[in-house]
Amino acid sequence: MSSTPAAESARVRDLVRSTPASGPRRSIGLLAVVACLGGFLFGYDTGVISGALPYMLMPEAAGGLGLSALEEGLIGGILLLGCAVGAVVGGRLSDRYGRRHNLLVLAVVFLVGALGCALAPNLTTVYLARFVLGLAVGGASTTVPVYLSESAPKEQRGMLVAVDQLMIVTGQFAAFVVNAIIASIQGGPSAQVANDPSGTYQAGETVSWDALAALGGVAVSDGNGHAWRWMLAICSLPAVALWIGIRMMPESARWHVRRGELAAAIGCLKRIRVEGRHDVAVEVAEMADNHRQEEAREKLSLARAFSVPWLRSIIVFGGIFAVLQQLTGVNTMMYYAPRVLMAAGFDAQASIILNVFTGLASVVGAILGLLALRRFGRRQVLLVGQTVLTLSLIAMTAIFLLGINPHLEASGAVSPDIPGFVPYLVVVVIVLFMLGMQAGPGPVMWVMLSEIFPSAVRGAATGFVVMILWIANMIVTFTFPLMMSGLGPVVTYGLFAVINIGAVTWYYLRIPETRKFTLERIEWEFREAGGVIRLR
């Protein structure tokens, strides 16, 4: 980085001496906790639907929404469509109005979306509210990491940005725990019988929805299907906490510097720096110098980048990486794990409670991934994690084929004579899958996307690839219930296993090792090689 001219440096020091802090001092730890509530909400809102769906599948007379397989897929897919839109729009609004301002707006959007879902009178309103929630999730996915990276001292930056990823899976884990608590209090999905043509049940008798659905033709008059509303309403609480907390935090100093507002930048930075440990004058001068250099560099639009062969090669590489990460089927585990467990023979209540292990495995896997990336190369961590999850998908296919399918009854329900340990094998496989995913492809993809794109096109290319990731997520989420209903678990997981065997091969052949190279060296290597990624 070039030195700041002496006159400019002196001007900055004069400003630092004359500019007071713009408000009460806040520790960087508190700022991170508050900002990461955005990541927590991201995780909660994407994970909570897994426990809500079994209740939403119940008929309207029992408090549910009577979802078909298509509608079930749309419930998840529409949120992810909102995420794709929110990631693009949120990034632009953040650049224009500020990171803190954007998080304030997102807190309100989270609240409106959560309450809209919980109070929705019909399915159409649920779709609309889920799209609104998606806008907030997508906006948070782009704004929170930027706010953290721009606010943190350089020695803490990597750790705090990584903590945001950990908070996302923590939010998902919290959603699974809340779902399990509500399911334990309310009981599994159940309804009162209004009329049973078969005579199996008497009018007024309360029966689990699993049994009624398997029997078919039974009319119901009431039930506990409304439990899904409580699950979705609870995420309004951290949204309120985010809105209150972020109002007490300063704006990003770097955002002010980009607007030429040095005094405002100094006032904000003084609120989150420790006097005597950090030199605010040096830090602001570096920001101003870096901004001048960025202004002098060539700015490339995404369209122009695609016209340059070596840049196009890297952007396509990033897009393939993002799509393969979603084709692991990770979000089928996060959103539909109770459905998978019900297909394995557990009742709905047990499935929702056992899903807590999925969230716990995600948190443990994320921690292992962070520790592994500090010690090992990107390729090593990615290939080990991808291999573990691929073997888990193969095992899942085999368990359904050899252990569960032979015990299916004509109604599609699992026979009571199935060996007791077989359904629990599915739980074990899901846990292993989440450990492999969150310790491997999960963190590695985000780290490498921040490294492989040249500075001139980094923002545009990253935004494009993240949009592709959300779209791929939406497609997988939407099609999974249809695949499970139409093709069955064996074919569904068999397809995912085959795709991920191909992914392991592609990673082995194509993924570079970027850990020991600077960003500038990575860009030079790619440019010299014409976009062929050969770093090892």
Beta bridge partners of 208: 190
Which SS3 state, helix, strand or coil, does residue 471 take?
helix
Same domain, yes or no: 522 and 374 = yes
Same domain, yes or no: 318 and 458 = yes
Same domain, yes or no: 129 and 271 = no
Render 315-328 in DSSP notation, one character per residue: HHHHHHHHHHHHTT
Same domain, yes or no: 244 and 260 = no
Q: What is the pLDDT of residue 412?
A: 67
Same domain, yes or no: 268 and 310 = no
Which SS3 state, helix, strand or coil, does residue 501 take?
helix
The reply to whether 311 falls in a domain is yes
Backbone conformation region of residue 300, classed left if phi is above 0, alpha if psi is from -120 to 50, else beta: beta
Same domain, yes or no: 234 and 372 = no
Same domain, yes or no: 238 and 321 = no
Q: What is the pLDDT of residue 4?
A: 46
The reply to whether 199 falls in a domain is no
Same domain, yes or no: 403 and 360 = yes
Same domain, yes or no: 535 and 500 = yes
The reply to whether 16 falls in a domain is no
Q: What is the pLDDT of residue 445?
A: 85
Helices (H), 152-235: 157-186, 209-215, 227-233
For the chain, the helix, strand and coil percentages under 3-state DSSP, each to the nearest 5 = 75, 5, 20
The reply to whether 212 falls in a domain is no
Same domain, yes or no: 320 and 233 = no
The reply to whether 205 falls in a domain is no
To the nearest 10°, the Cα dihedral for 19, 251, 165, 501? -110
Same domain, yes or no: 276 and 163 = no
The total number of residues shown for the chain amounts to 536
Give the residue from 280, 296, 312 where a domain finishes.
296
Burial 8-19 (b: 16+ CB within 10 A, else e): ebeebbebbeeb
Q: What is the pLDDT of residue 25?
A: 87
Which has the closest alpha carbon to 140: 76, 86, 84? Answer: 86
Amino acid identity for residue 3 in this structure:
S
- 425: CATH: 1.20.1250.20
CA distance linking residue 474 with residue 81, whole number of Å: 6
Q: What is the pLDDT of residue 233?
A: 93
Cβ distance 193 to 230 under 8 Å? no
Supply the range of the domain harboring residue 274: 253-296
The reply to whether 14 falls in a domain is no
Q: CA 401, 406, 407 angle in degrees (round to 5)?
A: 120
Beta bridge partners of 207: 191
The reply to whether 348 falls in a domain is yes
pLDDT tens per residue across all 536 residues of the chain: 444 456 667 777 777 777 788 888 888 888 888 988 888 998 898 889 888 998 998 999 999 998 888 898 889 889 888 988 888 888 778 888 888 999 999 999 999 999 999 999 999 999 999 999 999 988 888 788 878 877 877 666 656 766 777 888 899 899 999 999 999 998 888 889 988 888 888 888 888 887 887 777 888 888 888 999 999 999 899 999 999 999 999 998 888 888 888 888 888 888 888 876 777 787 788 778 777 776 766 666 778 878 888 888 888 988 999 999 999 988 777 778 887 888 888 888 888 888 899 889 999 998 898 888 878 888 899 999 999 999 999 999 999 999 998 887 776 677 788 888 888 999 999 999 999 998 999 888 877 877 777 766 766 777 788 888 888 988 998 898 889 888 989 999 999 999 999 999 999 988 888 777 665 676 777 776 665 555 55
Same domain, yes or no: 395 and 448 = yes
The reply to whether 115 falls in a domain is yes
pTM of the predicted structure, to 2 decimals: 0.81
Beta bridge partners of 275: 278
Number of domains in the chain: 3
Q: Using N-to-C axis directions, what is the helix angle for 421-439 and 356-375, rounded to 10°? A: 30
Burial 251-261 (b: 16+ CB within 10 A, else e): bbbbbbbbeee
